[in-house]
Structure formats: C-alpha cells, structure tokens
C-alpha cells in the first residue's frame, strides 16, 4: 500500500488481487457517516478507504451516493469526498405529508451495481445495509462478478457479511480510515489509562498472592 496508509501493508484475503483487475467502488455515504458518528464520534477518511480497497488494482468507477441537505456544512463534506477521488451522486431529502423524511440510495446503488457488473471484475460495496443482499447474490450468480463489502463490523448485516466474497472491517483500521475527534481521542486515552492502571493493579495483586518461600536452614558439616 501507499505510505498514506501508515502500517497497512495488505488485507488478509481469501480472494486473489492482481493489478489487472477492474474494480468499481460504490459508497453508501449515509451508512458510513452514521456508523462512524455513533461508534467512534468521528468521520471517515474516504481517500484512504479508496486506496485500501484498490490495493494497486485498476479503478473503473468510484461513486459516492450522498444526500443533499442544502446545508453549508454538508456541501463542504460532499466536496471533500469528491476531492478524495469519488464521483458524487446527490439525492434530495423527501418530506412526506405526515412530516416524516426519507432519503436513501438503496435502489440507485443496486441499479448501478447491476449496470457495472459485466464491465468489471469486482464490485466493492461500501455499506453494511442488508438490503443489498439480493443484488450481491445476483452479481455473483448471474454476472460472475466478485463482490467485496467494506463497512463497520458492528453495524453490518450478518447475511451481507457472510455472502460477500470478501469483507473488510473498517474497525480493523481505525487510525488509518477514521478522522478522530478530540472527544473520541480523549475517551480512548482515558480508556487506555484505565486499562494500564488495571493491569498494574492485577500484577500487584498476583505478586501479593504468591506463597512466601521459607529459606532453607544451612547445612553444617558434621564435626
């Protein structure tokens, strides 16, 4: 891997990766955004995610599917994803009569995956949403296409994880794939400090519980 990913050298994999493979990367931005926020109080490093996925392979398309909230902070966020190497597809939030709101890309991502399936060797779905299971099965069985899934392990649908040809857990690479917030970093430091204190206390307790050995009386030569 490139130096941008620090100590990540490769992914422990059950599939063969080679430089001639054509890859399409489809990112469900909302799925990643809320998983990173809820689990780590942080944001995803989309540039490093793309580099880790590719592993030197040929990138055919990299598309990020996002929601347009019309807020300035969201515009900055979307621009940062674009600068990381992704095409952007935006969908406005739908507001219904009862006041509920909805904006998801499940169908749009599935349709693009099917369109691209016969043009690439591998589709990389960056989402843990179980709604994608049918399209994953279709790509594998009808298109003969590899399907890799990258997402947060704790929020990934079990079936999606199992049927993927490869599952990459973002939580295995938090330092490389996440921008840590001050709150998150502080929390992690406190956790490490507490673990260090616990370890020291346990070691001291074990030391105190060791049986005391009585020194043997020296043997004097017989007179």
197 belongs to a structural domain: no
Whole-prediction pTM? 0.75
172 belongs to a structural domain: yes
6 belongs to a structural domain: no
CA angle 170, 75, 123 (to 5 degrees): 40
Q: Is 47 exposed, middle or buried (0-12, 13-18, 19+ CB in 10 A)?
A: middle
Total structural domains within the chain:
1
11 belongs to a structural domain: no
Chain segment 71-112, per-residue pLDDT in tens? 888 899 999 999 999 999 999 887 766 766 667 899 999 999
Residues 1-31 as b or e (16 or more Cβ within 10 Å = b): beeebeebeebeeeeebeeebebbbbbbbbb
**What CATH code is carried by the domain that includes residue 82?**
3.40.50.1010
Q: What's the CA gap between 157 and 149, in Å, rounded?
A: 11
212 belongs to a structural domain: no
Chain segment 132-143, per-residue pLDDT in tens? 999 999 999 999
User: What is the span of the domain harbouring residue 118?
Assistant: 19-182
Could you say which DSSP state residue 99 is in? S
161 belongs to a structural domain: yes
Q: What's the CA gap between 39 and 105, in Å, rounded?
A: 22
């Amino acid at each position: 891997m490139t130096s941008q990913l620090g100590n990540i050298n490769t992914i422990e994999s059950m599939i063969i990766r080679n430089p001639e493979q054509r890859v399409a990367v489809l990112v469900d931005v909302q799925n990643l955004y809320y998983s990173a926020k809820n689990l780590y109080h942080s944001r995803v490093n989309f540039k490093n995610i793309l580099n880790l996925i590719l592993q030197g392979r040929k990138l055919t398309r990299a598309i990020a599917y996002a929601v347009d909230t019309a807020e300035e902070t969201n515009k900055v966020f979307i621009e940062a994803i674009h600068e990381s190497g992704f095409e952007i597809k935006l969908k406005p939030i739908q507001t219904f009569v009862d006041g509920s709101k909805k904006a998801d890309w499940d169908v749009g991502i599935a349709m693009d995956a099917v369109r691209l399936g016969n043009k690439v060797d591998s589709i990389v779905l960056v989402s843990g949403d179980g709604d994608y299971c049918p399209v994953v099965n279709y790509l594998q069985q009808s298109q003969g296409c590899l399907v890799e899934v990258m997402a947060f392990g704790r929020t990934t649908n079990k079936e999606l994880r199992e049927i993927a040809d490869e599952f990459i857990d973002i939580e295995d690479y938090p330092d490389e794939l996440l921008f840590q917030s001050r709150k998150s970093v502080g929390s992690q430091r406190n956790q490490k400090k507490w673990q260090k204190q616990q370890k020291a206390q346990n070691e001291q307790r074990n030391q105190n519980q060791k049986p005391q050995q009585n020194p043997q009386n020296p043997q004097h030569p017989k007179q």
